[in-house]
Structure 1
Amino acid sequence: MPRVSDEHLAARRQQILDAARRCFLRDGFHNTSMQDVIREAGLSVGAVYRYFPSKYNLVTAIAQAVIGGADQVFAELARHEPPLPLTEVLARALAYVDSQTGPDGVLRLAIQVWSEAQRDPALADFVRATYRGFRDHFVAIARRAREAGELPVDADPEAAGAALFGLIPGYFMQRILTGQPDRHTYLAGVRTLLTGSATSPVSG
């Protein structure tokens, strides 16, 4: 029997994940069965179960995909040289959010992941660790902002980082649930709160 290439295996796995993502976006986690994913993927039962023995495995893989892109963006913001002003950090983070909140955007699945984590202890552990990692990036950003003089010398980076990170899910929850505010309006509001001016010269 010819050996199946790693590229073929990776492509087949991605085919299943893409099918699951479409199902989850269309019908939600709870209303999607493994049979639904199998039909959507156009594969045999054995082919799908070879890669994902259960819906939990699919949900976790989707969650990892949702999270991976955001973690890379936030890590790059934390390492940027020279350190970015806090409003610029937020502008760039929200630009990424906007790219992922359309009808097929992965952040729409993030809300479902949060909901599923309330009833699945294993997924809850995964989500908890992941979001702590996100927050750590923003703590690092706040620490660098304090060193650069943007925050007071007695500022607590843990507190400032947690608050800054909290602005991001706050934005995309509003965007997904109500369609508002747009990114420029939200950034103007944050700039007003942080600097007293809605016209700070930052991108966004």
Structure 2
Amino acid sequence: MPKRDENYMRKQRDAIARAALGVLIEKGYHETTLRDICRAANVSNGALYSYFPTREAVVVAACAIDHAKQAKAALPRDWEDYADLREAQDMAVGTYTSRRFRLSLQFVAAISQMEDPPEGLSLIFQTYRDKIKQTLLSFHDRGIITLPLGIDTTADLHAQLFFGAEYQLTANREYPREKVCEALKAGLALSAGLVEVKHSLSSRDTSPALGSP
């Protein structure tokens, strides 16, 4: 049998990862079996293991495809679009967004009990941070923010703010969503040095630039 070229192998690997992502989103991490993934990808168990030595490796590859797709999306043009956290506000039971977040939480819980994180996982987080960094730099270039903490610290901080807000909106549904979103907007604006906020504070405007608390 002739040796398969790298391009074919890459395409086959990506096809399996895409099929796995669909199953993982639908059923969650704990309920998805390797048999489910093989069936969705139309491959044998042996073929699956030839590309992914562990179950975790399949999940990382699937999540990497999901994040890469989001990374290719256009950068937010307006600060409000960036700070609005629309995805996290669409966490109704059964929606794609809520199921995607379920997969994230379940996989993180599983990773917390592993001695070593799965290979490639850090690249997923880096992809997420890079998108935030690109967005912040575009705002800085247009004079919308001043980045008093520097780009790297601000990008890391914003990633944590987004993660925390998503978790709060999902796990603590009795807490007013408006408070979570307003706190997020304030944290993002102040840490990034939003010019409108600085102007508002310096002029002692009694109306907050990002809405009422």
CA distance in 2, matches of 1:52, 1:100: 34
What is residue 3 of structure 1 aligned with on the other side? none
In structure 2, do the counterparts of structure 1 residues 155 and 58 end up closer, same or farther at CA, with 3 Å as the change threshold?
A: closer
Residue 157 of structure 2 corresponds to residue 157 of structure 1: no
Letter of the 1:63 partner, please give it.
C
Higher helix proportion: 1
Residue 105 of structure 2 corresponds to residue 111 of structure 1: yes
Residue 78 of structure 2 corresponds to residue 84 of structure 1: yes
Percent identity for Structure 1 against Structure 2: 10
Q: Deviations over 1:133-189 (max 9, x none)?
A: 211222232233333333337551222222222221112111232236566543333
CA distance in 1, matches of 2:41, 2:186: 53
In structure 2, do the counterparts of structure 1 residues 65 and 175 end up closer, same or farther at CA, with 3 Å as the change threshold?
A: farther
Q: CA RMSD in A?
A: 3.8
Letter of the 1:51 partner, please give it.
L
**Residue pair 1:108, 1:176 contacting (<8 A) in 2 also:** no
CA distance in 1, matches of 2:83, 2:22: 30
Moved over 6 A (4+): none
Letter of the 1:151 partner, please give it.
I
Letter of the 2:211 partner, please give it.
T
Offset of 1:89 from its aligned partner?
Answer: 0.9
The residue matched to 2:78 in structure 1 has which SS? coil
Matches within 5 A, 1:112-131: 112-118=106-112, 119=114, 121=116, 123=118, 125-131=119-125
In structure 2, do the counterparts of structure 1 residues 50 and 154 end up closer, same or farther at CA, with 3 Å as the change threshold?
A: closer
CA distance in 2, matches of 1:167, 1:121: 26
The alignment covers a number of residue pairs equal to 175
CA distance in 2, matches of 1:19, 1:101: 19
What is residue 211 of structure 2 aligned with on the other side? 199
The residue matched to 1:96 in structure 2 has which SS? coil
Residue 47 of structure 2 corresponds to residue 50 of structure 1: yes
